[in-house]
């Protein structure tokens, strides 16, 4: 993790040396047009399914697709996607670049959307909507790495993995489990839900062995696409090497003294007890297992296997990883990277991940203590905590400390949030909103 720590430090100083226009969220017209287009496309897609299948299979396929399409539209309405023209123009240009390559029949009908999720990940929906997370801009060094991920997802699309996986679930007749899943998604709509399309993602990512084979197939086909569309001096594997370094917990550190600095207020003295870390033995490990297993790319053991397979199949990829990031500060990608970093707190908060959002908020305020924007943002975010605590929904927005957590700074931080009572949260919020 040392490399990525250095990397983040380098970039945070670059970030504050220039002010970028915040991401434009007044995108009502664009969203409306897009929703109309998608509704038409979904109708055509469902129509094709109805013609191709019959009986129970057809009914269940249509059920799943209609449910996830609704969920998808709802996510657009909820502003889960970025429609700022700096991003939309950029991805439109990437789309054009890939579509204009010769000999890639079938690659004329995909559309890239940028989601506000901070995790460096991407997802291909049945029908060819490719969602790339803003976290890819934040985490990656350059466009070539982003292009690797896009080509990999297009590999899935070309091989019809999303459609086939949904079909195999339905033919296996485990629809009871699916229905239970649908109910649980409906219940847990609010709060920590990083899955833009939770049901589909659940279906697509839940199969171990088959999924690994599909990953490797998408890697190989993706590489062939990348060779045409990517820059000649770049390495397709760089993105995978970088993703191995990803940690879903922000790589920052906040000391005990830092809390004293920020939370010893005129109306409320700092309390040592706030930093008391709870006794892990109180927790029931099994209860958290499911949550943990869903976590992050970092724990994907298959990344190593994927790298090895690609090196085996394509000897030109069998070169040592150059750990010095290839960063071009004059590129459009770099501008979007800065923008993605600037929006990181807002995106966490909007995604219901208050803990991570406030963690980064605190760190940035410590780095630039006179930044009034960060102060009022902290006040605003503590107001959200206050509301959540008042409504008994705190656990939906702030993670529990779990026995497997290793990051001492993050454990202390989460404990701090959990240890504060309603009145204390309110005083902190008011202080930072007024100062």
Pick between residue 317 and residue 411 the one whose CB is nearest to Zn ion. Answer: 317
Binding mask 35-74 for Zn ion (x = CB under 5 A): ----------------------------------------
* Interaction residues for Zn ion, span 202-231 (CB under 5 A): 215, 218
Pick between residue 150 and residue 425 the one whose CB is nearest to Zn ion. Answer: 150
Pick between residue 212 and residue 271 the one whose CB is nearest to Zn ion. Answer: 212
Pick between residue 190 and residue 305 the one whose CB is nearest to Zn ion. Answer: 305
Pick between residue 60 and residue 215 the one whose CB is nearest to Zn ion. Answer: 215
Q: Residue 46: which of 149, 126, 110, 118 has the closest Cα?
A: 126
Minimum Å gap between C-beta 318 and Zn ion is 21
Minimum Å gap between C-beta 132 and Zn ion is 12
Minimum Å gap between C-beta 368 and Zn ion is 38
Pick between residue 218 and residue 388 the one whose CB is nearest to Zn ion. Answer: 218
Q: Under rule CB under 5 A, how many of the chain's residues touch Zn ion?
A: 2
Minimum Å gap between C-beta 218 and Zn ion is 5
Minimum Å gap between C-beta 98 and Zn ion is 17
Minimum Å gap between C-beta 104 and Zn ion is 18
Minimum Å gap between C-beta 316 and Zn ion is 22
Cα–Cα distances in Å, from 24 out to 7, 83, 86, 345, 352? 27, 7, 9, 15, 20
Binding mask 271-300 for Zn ion (x = CB under 5 A): ------------------------------
Pick between residue 27 and residue 153 the one whose CB is nearest to Zn ion. Answer: 153
Please report, as ranges, the residues that interact with Zn ion according to CB under 5 A: 215, 218
């Amino acid at each position: 993790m040392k490399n990525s720590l250095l990397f983040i430090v380098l970039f945070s100083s670059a970030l504050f040396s220039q002010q970028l226009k915040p991401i434009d969220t007044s995108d009502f017209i664009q969203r409306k047009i897009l929703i109309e287009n998608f509704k038409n496309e979904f109708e055509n897609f469902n129509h094709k399914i109805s013609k191709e299948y019959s009986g129970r299979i057809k009914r269940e396929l249509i059920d799943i697709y209609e449910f996830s399409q609704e969920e998808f539209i709802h996510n657009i309405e909820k502003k889960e996607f970025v429609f700022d023209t700096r991003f939309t123009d950029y991805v439109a240009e990437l789309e054009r670049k890939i579509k204009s390559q010769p000999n890639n029949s079938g690659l004329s009908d995909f559309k890239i959307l940028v989601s506000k999720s901070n995790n460096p990940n991407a997802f291909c929906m049945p029908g060819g909507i490719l969602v790339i997370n803003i976290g890819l801009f934040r985490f990656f060094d350059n466009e070539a790495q982003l292009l690797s991920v896009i080509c990999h997802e297009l590999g899935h699309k070309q091989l019809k993995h999303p459609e086939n996986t949904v079909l195999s679930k339905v033919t296996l007749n485990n629809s009871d489990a699916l229905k239970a899943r649908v109910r649980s998604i409906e219940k847990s709509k609010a709060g920590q839900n990083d899955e833009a399309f939770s049901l589909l993602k659940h279906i697509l990512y839940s199969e171990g062995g088959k999924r690994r084979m599909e990953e490797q197939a998408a890697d190989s086909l993706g590489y062939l696409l990348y060779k045409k569309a990517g820059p000649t001096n770049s390495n397709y594997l760089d993105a995978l090497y970088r993703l191995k370094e990803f940690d879903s917990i922000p790589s920052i550190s906040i000391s005990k003294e830092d809390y004293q600095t920020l939370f010893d207020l005129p109306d409320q003295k700092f309390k040592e007890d706030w930093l008391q870390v709870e006794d892990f033995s109180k927790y029931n490990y099994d209860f958290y297992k499911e949550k943990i297993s869903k976590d992050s790319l970092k724990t994907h053991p298959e990344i190593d296997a994927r790298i090895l397979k690609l090196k085996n199949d394509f000897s030109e990829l069998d070169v040592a990883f150059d750990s010095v990031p290839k960063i071009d500060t004059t590129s459009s990608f770099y501008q979007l990277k800065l923008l993605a970093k600037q929006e990181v707190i807002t995106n966490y908060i909007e995604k219901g991940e208050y803990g991570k959002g406030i963690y980064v908020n605190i760190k940035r305020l410590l780095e630039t203590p006179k930044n009034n924007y960060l102060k009022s943002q902290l006040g605003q975010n503590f107001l959200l905590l206050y509301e959540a605590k008042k409504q008994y929904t705190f656990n939906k927005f702030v993670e529990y400390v779990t026995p497997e957590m290793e990051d001492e700074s993050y454990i202390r931080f989460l404990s701090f949030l959990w240890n504060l009572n309603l009145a204390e949260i309110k005083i902190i919020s008011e202080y930072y909103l007024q100062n």
